[in-house]
C-alpha cells in the first residue's frame, strides 16, 4: 500500500514514515498532488500553529479535497484539527471543513500543553481501532482540541474536559494523539489505517 | 487521566567513532552500558514512556554521532525522543529534529543566550523545546534569593550551574525556571547536582518549589535509587515525569517493576 504523507512544511515526518514502513506500507513523503493521486491513502501530519498549517496547505487544498472522495485520509494532531470547519487558535481561521466542528483551547486547572500519555475511551466503533482495548494509552502533545458532533467522535480522553481524541467521518479520520509515538498501540492504529487503504 | 512518565536517560559518548551509553559519577569512572540503539529498544520494550539521549562530549564529532544514533533509534522505537548536549543554535536543533528527535534539551546555551529559547520555540513550537536546569544548593542565604527550606530544617537557595556542573552562574534556579517558561520553554528538565549519582533520592525541596511556580511539566532528575524515590518525586515533588539512568542500565531496577510498584501505590502509569 502506498501511503502519501503530505509534506506541507510542518514538523517531523520521519517518525510517521518509519511507522508506516514498519507496518508494511510504502511511505511517500510529498507535496505533489500527482504523487498523492498515486497513493492508496493519505496521512496529514502536523505540528505547529493552525493558521500556519492552513496557509501552507492552501496551494493543494482543492486537490486534497478531491482525493479524499475515493481514498482514506488520516489527520494527526494538527492534521486532525485542520479537518474541522474552523479554529479559534490565534484568531478565527477556516479549516478544510471535512468534519463539521470547531477547534478551541483546552481549559481548566491543568498544565497546557496537554503533553504525555493519556487513555482512550472508545465511544463508537471504527475499524481504525480494531484490536485496541478500551483504556489503552496513547501519546498527546496539544493545546487545542476539536469540538464536533457526537456522531463523528470515536474516542474520548479526559484532560480538564473530556474531549474527542479521535474523529471518523466515513473515510476521513483524525487522531489528536500521535500514533507514531504511541508504542505498540499506535503502530496497531497505523496498521489498521493501512488495511483500510486496501480497498 | 494523564499518566506520570518514567524516562530513562542515555548518556552517550563515542568510542572509535561509535556511540556508546556510559554512566559514571560526576562524569568520572565511566562504565560502558552498551549500544544506545539496542538500549533504547530494550527500554521501549520494558515500557519506558520517553527516552532522553544526552551527548556528554558536547563536541562537534559527538553531535554528528548523535544524529546517527537518533536516526537509527527513530526507525525502530516509536515513543518520544529528546536529545540534548552541546546544542548551540537553531541549526543544531533543526538537524536533530530532522533526524527524528521529537524534542531537544538546551542547557548551557539557554543560560548564555536566552533568546535561543524564544527563537527555537517560535520556529519549532514550545512543545519541542525542553530547557534543562542543573542546580546546586547554596547555603549562603542572601537577599533577593528564593530561599527554600530543606529536609533538615536548614535553608538554602539553588544556584544554576552550567558546563555539566563545573561553572556556577549566580542565577537563582527558581527565578530562572519562571523565566524560561515565559521565554517559551515547553518543559523543564531539573537536575540537582547535590543528588546526581548519589541514589539518595530526588531533591524534593527544589522540585516541589519549581513545580509550584511554573505551569509547564517538570521532569525530576538526579538521585533516584529505589522505587520509593520515584513515588516521592511524583507525590512530594509534584514532578510530571521522573528520569533515571544507571539504575536502569545496570538492571538494578526494571521499568516494568517500577511501574507496577507505582500503580500499586495508586499512581496512574502506563503499563
Whole-number pLDDT of residue B16: 65
| Nearest-angstrom CA–CA distance, A163 and A80 | 13
Q: How confident is the model at residue B125 (pLDDT cuts 50, 70, 90)?
A: confident
Does B241 fall in a domain? yes
Task: Of B135-144, B204-213, B228-237, give the lowest mean pLDDT range.
Answer: B135-144
Whether A8 has its CB under 8 Å from any CB of chain B: the answer is no
Whether A160 has its CB under 8 Å from any CB of chain B: the answer is no
Q: Which of A77, A114, A191, A197 is catalytic?
A: A77
Q: Looking at residue A66, which CATH number applies to its domain?
A: 3.40.50.880
Whether A113 has its CB under 8 Å from any CB of chain B: the answer is yes
Count of the separate structural domains present in chain A: 1
- Rounded to an integer, what is the distance from CA A185 to the centroid of its chain? 15
What residue in B sits closest to A21 (Cα-Cα)? B75
Does B198 fall in a domain? yes
Alpha carbon of B64: minimum distance to chain A alpha carbons (Å): 18
Whether A85 has its CB under 8 Å from any CB of chain B: the answer is no
Whole-number pLDDT of residue B164: 84
B→A contacts (Cβ < 8 Å), by residue, are 1-3, 5, 44, 49, 71, 74-76, 78-80, 97-102, 125-128, 186-187, 215-217, 240-241, 270
pTM of the model: 0.93
Residues of B acting as catalytic residues: 11, 134
Q: For residue A78, give its domain range.
A: 2-196
Classified as helix, coil or strand, B205 is helix
Instruction: Return the residue in A9, A11, A14 with the most chain B beta carbons within 10 A, the one to mutate for interface testing.
Output: A14
Q: What percent of chain B stands above pLDDT 90?
A: 74
Q: How confident is the model at residue B250 (pLDDT cuts 50, 70, 90)?
A: confident
Does B271 fall in a domain? no
Whole-number pLDDT of residue A14: 87
Does B270 fall in a domain? no
Q: Using one digit for the tens of pLDDT, what is the confidence trace for B43-90?
A: 999 999 999 999 888 777 777 888 999 999 999 999 999 999 989 999
Q: How confident is the model at residue B236 (pLDDT cuts 50, 70, 90)?
A: very high
What residue in B sits closest to A118 (Cα-Cα)? B2
Whole-number pLDDT of residue B29: 53
Residue bearing cell 548519589: B198
Residue B26 has pLDDT above 50, yes or no: no
What residue in B sits closest to A143 (Cα-Cα)? B127
Q: Looking at residue B250, which CATH number applies to its domain?
A: 3.20.20.70
CB contact under 8 A, A47 and B128: yes
Mark the ranges of chain A whose per-residue pLDDT is less than 50.
Answer: none
Residue B28 has pLDDT above 60, yes or no: no
Mean pLDDT taken over chain B: 91
Alpha carbon of A117: minimum distance to chain B alpha carbons (Å): 6
Count of the separate structural domains present in chain B: 1
Q: For residue B174, give its domain range.
A: 5-264
Q: How confident is the model at residue B129 (pLDDT cuts 50, 70, 90)?
A: very high
CB contacts, 8 Å: A15 with chain B: 74, 78, 100, 102
Work out whether the CA dihedral B145, B238, B204, B242 comes out positive or negative. negative
Higher pLDDT, B22 or B88: B88
Residue B258 has pLDDT above 50, yes or no: yes
Whole-number pLDDT of residue B12: 86
CB contact under 8 A, A181 and B102: yes
Q: Which of A114, A178, A191, A197 is catalytic?
A: A178
A77 catalytic residue (yes or no): yes
- Facing residue for A113 by CB, picked from B49, B79, B186: B186
H or E element in which residue B86 lies = none
Amino acid at each position: 500500500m502506498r501511503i502519501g504523507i503530505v509534506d506541507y512544511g510542518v514538523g517531523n515526518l520521519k517518525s510517521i514514515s518509519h511507522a508506516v514502513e514498519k507496518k508494511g506500507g510504502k511511505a511517500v513523503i510529498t507535496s505533489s498532488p500527482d504523487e498523492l493521486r498515486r497513493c492508496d491513502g493519505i496521512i496529514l501530519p502536523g505540528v505547529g500553529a493552525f493558521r500556519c498549517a492552513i496557509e501552507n496547505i492552501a496551494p493543494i487544498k482543492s486537490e486534497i479535497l478531491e482525493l479524499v472522495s475515493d481514498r482514506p485520509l488520516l489527520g494527526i494532531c494538527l492534521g486532525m484539527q485542520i479537518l474541522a470547519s474552523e479554529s479559534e487558535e490565534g484568531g478565527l481561521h477556516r479549516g478544510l471543513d471535512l468534519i463539521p466542528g470547531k477547534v478551541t483551547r483546552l481549559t481548566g486547572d491543568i498544565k497546557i500543553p496537554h503533553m504525555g500519555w493519556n487513555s482512550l475511551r472508545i465511544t463508537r466503533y471504527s475499524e481504525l481501532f480494531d484490536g485496541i482495548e478500551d483504556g489503552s494509552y496513547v501519546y498527546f502533545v496539544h493545546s487545542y482540541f476539536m469540538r464536533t458532533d457526537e456522531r463523528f467522535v470515536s474516542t474520548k480522553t479526559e484532560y480538564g474536559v473530556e474531549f474527542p481524541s479521535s474523529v471518523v467521518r466515513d473515510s476521513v479520520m483524525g487522531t489528536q494523539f500521535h500514533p507514531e509515538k504511541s508504542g505498540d498501540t499506535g503502530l496497531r492504529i497505523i496498521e489498521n489505517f493501512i488495511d483500510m487503504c486496501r480497498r | 487521566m494523564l499518566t506520570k512518565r518514567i524516562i530513562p536517560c542515555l548518556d552517550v559518548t563515542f568510542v572509535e567513532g561509535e556511540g556508546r551509553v556510559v554512566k559514571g559519577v560526576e562524569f568520572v569512572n565511566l562504565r560502558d552500558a552498551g549500544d544506545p540503539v539496542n538500549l533504547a529498544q530494550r527500554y521501549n520494550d520494558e515500557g519506558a514512556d520517553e527516552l532522553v539521549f544526552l551527548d556528554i562530549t558536547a563536541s562537534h564529532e559527538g553531535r554528528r554521532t548523535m544524529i546517527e544514533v537518533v536516526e537509527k533509534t527513530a526507525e525502530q522505537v516509536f515513543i518520544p525522543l529528546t536529545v540534548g548536549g552541546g546544542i548551540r543554535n537553531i541549526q543544531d536543533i533543526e538537524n536533530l529534529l530532522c533526524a527524528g528527535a521529537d524534542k531537544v534539551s538546551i542547557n548551557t546555551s539557554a543560560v548564555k543566550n536566552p533568546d535561543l529559547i524564544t527563537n527555537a520555540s517560535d520556529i519549532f513550537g514550545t512543545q519541542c523545546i525542553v530547557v534543562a536546569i542543573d542546580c546546586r544548593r547554596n547555603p549562603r542565604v542572601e537577599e533577593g534569593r528564593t530561599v527554600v527550606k530543606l529536609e533538615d530544617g536548614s535553608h538554602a537557595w539553588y544556584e544554576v550551574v552550567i558546563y555539566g556542573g563545573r561553572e556556577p552562574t549566580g542565577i537563582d534556579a527558581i527565578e530562572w525556571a519562571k523565566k524560561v517558561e515565559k521565554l517559551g520553554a515547553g518543559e523543564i528538565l531539573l537536575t540537582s547536582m547535590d543528588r546526581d549519582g548519589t541514589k539518595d533520592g530526588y531533591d524534593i525541596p527544589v522540585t516541589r518549589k519549581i513545580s509550584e511556580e511554573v505551569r509547564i511539566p517538570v521532569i525530576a532528575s538526579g538521585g533516584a535509587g529505589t522505587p520509593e524515590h520515584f513515588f516521592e518525586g511524583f507525590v512530594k515533588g509534584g514532578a510530571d515525569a521522573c528520569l533515571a539512568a544507571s539504575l536502569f542500565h545496570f538492571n538494578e531496577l526494571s521499568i516494568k517493576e517500577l511501574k507496577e510498584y507505582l500503580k500499586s501505590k495508586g499512581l496512574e502509569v502506563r503499563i
